[in-house]
A and B are shown apart, each in its own frame.
Chain A
Amino acid sequence: MLDLIMQGITEIMHINTLLFILFGVAWGTIGGMIPGINATIAMALLLPFTWGMGPTNAIVMLCGVYAGGEYGGSIPAILIGTPGTNAAACTVIDGHELHKQGKTGLALYTSLNSSVFGGFFGAIALLFFAMPLAEVALAFGPAEYFALATLGLTMICSLGEKYVFKGILAGFIGIFLSTVGFDPIKGVPRFTFGVMSLNSGFDMVALMMGFYAISEMFKQAQELLGGEVFELKGDPDTHFPKWKEIKGLFKWNVFGSIFGTIIGVMPGAGATTAAFISYSEAKRISKDSSSFGQGNIIGVAVPESANNAATGGAMVPLLALGIPGSNSTAIMLGALMIHNVSPGPMLFINTPEIPYGIFVSLFFANVFLFFVGYMFIKFAIKITSISKPVLIATVIALVYTGAFAYSGELFSIGVTLAFGVVGVLLRKMEIPHTAVVLGFVLGFLMEANLRRGLIISEGSFWGVATASPISAVLLAFAVFSVGFAFVRGLRMSKAELS
């Protein structure tokens, strides 16, 4: 093992290679910061330039973009309530609240620290456990994916706080939205009403930007005119967190990173799923769960460590099995294939310097990420001095441009606008829109795998639930979580009445 790691280090320790990683991280962070441009698009834009590079340089640069992209999305998420990437949508919930409370530095630097921590954790897992983790990925069939998604979805019950039914309703709406478009098994178009642009369903980017960015800007515009404009309480605190604060979040970073690495390993799950599931589980086990959504720093640390740990996890099926588990790793697969490198178990035997070089490059990418992120935060924090009307108009224009850039269709701007309006209405009715987003993120994973599972078990739901010990345990946890959320909601309601 040690000699393989040394081979990897030797492969990376060239000034050109390190500069490529640094450039990748910076490019990815910029891409992540721009709504509508995620890590995948940032990578796709660089792909043509990898043609003239060696396979290691090409892939390590893309690794840098991947790490930077997953982190960069958190900066606008915290500062303007607009997630730069889908995975950062979860960071908006508490990160933007912290910014409103003037704890801007704490939120931004915690997001950076946790992202770097998650990235390191994922890289270590990749370095030492790539092959065993690949076996975990293979142990997850449709029944296990369905159980995992269901467990994540039980979070909708607690997102409504004392309005348990509203949380569930919001989750159902989110799952319903995920069913729009081609059905995952038969390919039948559902709820599309003949609109071609809806055949592949709603763009997650448009939906997230609508629910988070546009509805937040609408809300701020309403507040501005109603004289209730949110202003920072004093000057925002832009200091780096104290050691005590960093240390206090250590266990949550480990928590998020474990979720991120494991979920990242599973093909089709990805960083967004990792962020939302880890957030929901952190809220579930936290002693201070009621402060989640109101500016709890754990709500920033956990999803950020999870989504960056997922980058390491996502490399496992790509390199060990040759299966790209996400759009970003599919682009990496493309880059490897351009250079006649075929990922899979033989890659570790024939050219071990490439996979181990990639593993080692993730460490360097995260070191660079810390410094690049620190620099970007210093620059981005100036956003807080922009006047509120200018910020509202600019963010709306930026989001519309980002929505168009992602799909190349005007329809996406319309979808973003529509979800922005829906977001305002849901807020008015005190229906938690985060539960809608959670339902949307996990809905497809849940439905597609439930139906695959039902085909395997010849229509028996019990057969799906008990297909393996993993699915049975996960579903048992889900049932327990629903019961717990109901009891908690009833208690909160009773306490309010008395």
Chain B
Amino acid sequence: MFKRYDWSVGLASILLGAFIIYRSSFWANYQSSESAGPGYVPVILAWGMIIIGVIHLVGWWIDYKRGKKTEDKIDYAKEWREFKPLLMIVAVSIIYILALKTVGYLLMTPLLIGSILWIIKERKIKGIIITSISVTIILFLIFFYGLSIKLPLGIMKPFF
């Protein structure tokens, strides 16, 4: 029932539960006219999470003591290789979100698409440029003109 990462699942579950109980104490005053109150369901969930967290920690500990997990070594180099592109796409996405309003959809979206293609080892520059621009134009036409969605135009606003 338990696996190698389960100590982290247990710990995260307990911490989340404790946090929910702490935050729910802020709304204790609202409980006067209603038996339940805003914190009622979150606190029940939190205790559930804490119990499940403890079960995972205990289960993992028992398995660990029995030596079941010794063959299940974590390859940190492999983990890093797997998560590196993900972190890079996340970083590019955060830049996209932060700059979208100022720079505008028409300039930021080709950069986003191009960056993602580059991160996932697409190296044909011509292909990257064509894909980035054509996908952006198609999406812009569908959303901006077809569905009348006010996409952020940023510095391109004077042209529309």
Kindly state the separation between the CA atoms of A484 and B9 in the bound complex, as whole angstroms.
24
A436 in contact (CB, < 8 A): no
Measured CA separation A414–B98 after assembly (Å): 10
Query: Roughly how many angstroms separate A129 CA and B147 CA in the complex, as a whole number?
Result: 37
Q: Least Cβ distance of A65 to chain B in Å?
A: 13
Whether the Cβ atoms of A405 and B143 lie closer than 8 Å is yes
Q: Contact between B122 and A389 (Cβ–Cβ < 8 Å)?
A: yes
A430's nearest neighbour on chain B, judged by CB, is B3
Task: Say whether B135 contacts A397, CB under 8 Å.
Answer: yes
Counting chain B residues whose Cβ lies within 8 A of the other chain, the interface size class is 35 or more
Query: Is B34 engaged at the interface, CB distance under 8 Å to the other chain?
Result: yes
Q: Could you say which of A37, A397, A430 contacts B136, with CB atoms under 8 Å apart?
A: A397
The CA of A221 and the CA of B86, in the complex, are separated in Å by 8
Which residue in B6, B82, B93 is a CB contact (below 8 Å) of A400? B93
Q: Once the chains bind, are B90 and A169 in contact (CB under 8 Å)? A: no
Query: Would you give the shortest CB distance from B113 to chain A, in whole angstroms?
Result: 5
Give the interface segment out of A198-206, A286-294, A453-461: A453-461
Q: Which of A164, A222, A394 contacts B1 (CB 8 A)?
A: A164
Per-residue CB contact flags for chain B residues 82-126 toward chain A (1 = under 8 Å, else 0) read 110110011001101100110001000100110011011110000
Q: A218-B86, A394-B135 are in contact. Are A404 and B116 (CB under 8 A)?
A: no
Q: A410 in the interface, Cβ–Cβ < 8 Å?
A: yes
How far is B143's CA from A41's CA once the two chains are assembled, in angstroms? 12
Q: How far is the CB of B111 from chain A (nearest CB, A)?
A: 10
Distance from B88 Cβ to chain A, minimum over Cβ atoms (Å) = 9
CB within 8 Å of B: which A377-431 residues: 389-390, 392-394, 396-398, 400-401, 404-405, 408, 410, 413-414, 417, 421, 424, 428-431
Contact A186 B1 (CB under 8 A): no
Q: Contacts of B127 on A, CB cut-off 8 Å?
A: 390
Question: Shortest CB–CB separation between residue A440 and chain B, in angstroms?
Answer: 12
Check if A375 is an interface residue, CB within 8 A of chain B.
no
**Which residues of chain B come closer than 8 Å to A447, judged between CB atoms?**
41
Please tell me which one of the listed residues A173, A186, A218, A397 contacts residue B38 in the complex, with CB atoms under 8 A apart. Answer: A186
Inter-subunit contact B97/A172 (CB<8 Å): no
- In the complex, chain A residues whose CB is within 8 Å of the CB of B135: 393-394, 397
Contact flags B18-35 to A (C-beta < 8 A → 1, else 0): 001001000100100011
Closest Cβ–Cβ distance, residue B147 to chain A (whole Å) = 6
Q: Does B76 count as interface, using CB distance less than 8 angstroms?
A: no
A446 to B151, CA, bound (A): 36
Does A195 sit within 8 A of B, measured CB to CB? no
- Stretch of A90-98, A175-183, A330-338 that contacts chain B: A175-183
Mask, B36-48, CB within 8 Å of A = 1, is 1111111001101
Closest partner residue, chain A, to B132 (CB atom)? A393
Tell me whether A226 is interfacial, beta carbon within 8 Å.
yes
CA distance in complex: A176, B42 (Å): 6
Chain A residue at minimal CB-CB distance from B1: A493
User: Is there an interface contact between A424 and B86, defined as CB atoms closer than 8 Å?
Assistant: yes
Query: Are A397 and B13 interface neighbours, CB within 8 A?
Result: no
A458 in contact with B48 given A389-B117, A397-B112, A410-B97 (CB within 8 Å): no
Measured between beta carbons, the chain A residues less than 8 angstroms from B48 are 168, 172
Q: Check if B35 sits within 8 Å of A417, measured CB to CB.
A: no
Answer yes or no: B160 CB below 8 A from chain A CBs: no
Question: Does A188 have its Cβ within 8 Å of any Cβ on chain B?
Answer: yes
Q: Does A163 contact B (CB under 8 A)?
A: yes
Minimal Cβ-Cβ distance residue in B for A162: B1
**B30/A186 in contact, CB under 8 A:** yes
**Interface readout for B130-151 with A: 1 if CB under 8 Å, 0 if not?**
0110011001001100011111
Decide if A190 touches B42 in the complex (CB within 8 Å): yes
Known A396-B112, A405-B143; judge A222-B5 contact (CB<8 A). no
- Which residues in B have their C-beta under 8 angstroms from that of A196? none
CB distance from B121 to the nearest CB of A (A): 6
- Contact between chains at B42 and A179 (CB < 8 Å): yes
Judge whether A455 and B34 touch: CB under 8 Å.
Answer: yes
Residue in contact with B41 in the complex, picked from A165, A179, A224, A389, CB distance below 8 Å: A179
Contact A451 B147 (CB under 8 A): no
Answer whether residue A358 sits at the interface, using C-beta atoms and an 8 A cutoff. Answer: no
Please give the distance in Å from A444's CB to the nearest CB on chain B.
10
CB distance from A436 to the nearest CB of B (A): 13
Closest to B48 in A: A172
Q: Tell me the chain A residues, 68-121 only, with Cβ under 8 Å from chain B.
A: none
Name the A residues within 8 Å of B142 (CB-CB): 34
CA A490 to CA B2, docked complex, whole Å: 12
**From B30, B82, B120, contact of A389 by CB (8 A):** B120
A7 CB to closest chain B CB (Å) equals: 36
Tell me which residues from 189 to 218 in chain A have a Cβ below 8 Å from any Cβ of chain B.
Answer: 190-191, 218
Q: How far is the CB of A40 from chain B (nearest CB, A)?
A: 13
B73 CB-CB contact with A under 8 Å: no
B153 interface residue (CB < 8 Å to A): no
Task: Give Cα A157 to B24, complex, Å.
Answer: 26
* Given A169-B9, A417-B94: A190 in contact with B38 (beta carbons within 8 A): yes
Residues of A contacting B82 in the complex (Cβ-Cβ under 8 angstroms): 222, 225-226
In the assembled complex, A26 has its CB within 8 A of some CB on chain B: no
Does B70 interact with chain A (Cβ within 8 Å)?
no
Q: Is there contact, CB below 8 Å, between B35 and A454?
A: yes
Sorted nearest first, the 6 A-B pairs with minimum C-beta distance are A459-B35, A183-B38, A393-B116, A405-B149, A389-B122, A447-B41
Contacts A179-B41, A221-B120 known; list 7 others, CB within 8 Å. A169-B9, A188-B27, A190-B39, A390-B127, A401-B139, A401-B143, A405-B147
Question: A residues touching B (Cβ–Cβ < 8 Å)?
Answer: 34, 37, 41, 45, 162-166, 168-169, 172-173, 175-176, 179, 183, 185-186, 188, 190-191, 218, 221-222, 224-226, 389-390, 392-394, 396-398, 400-401, 404-405, 408, 410, 413-414, 417, 421, 424, 428-431, 446-447, 450-451, 454-455, 458-459, 489-490, 493
| Interface CB pairs A-B, < 8 A, 13 | A175-B41, A191-B42, A221-B85, A224-B120, A390-B117, A393-B112, A394-B135, A400-B96, A405-B151, A413-B100, A417-B97, A429-B8, A430-B3
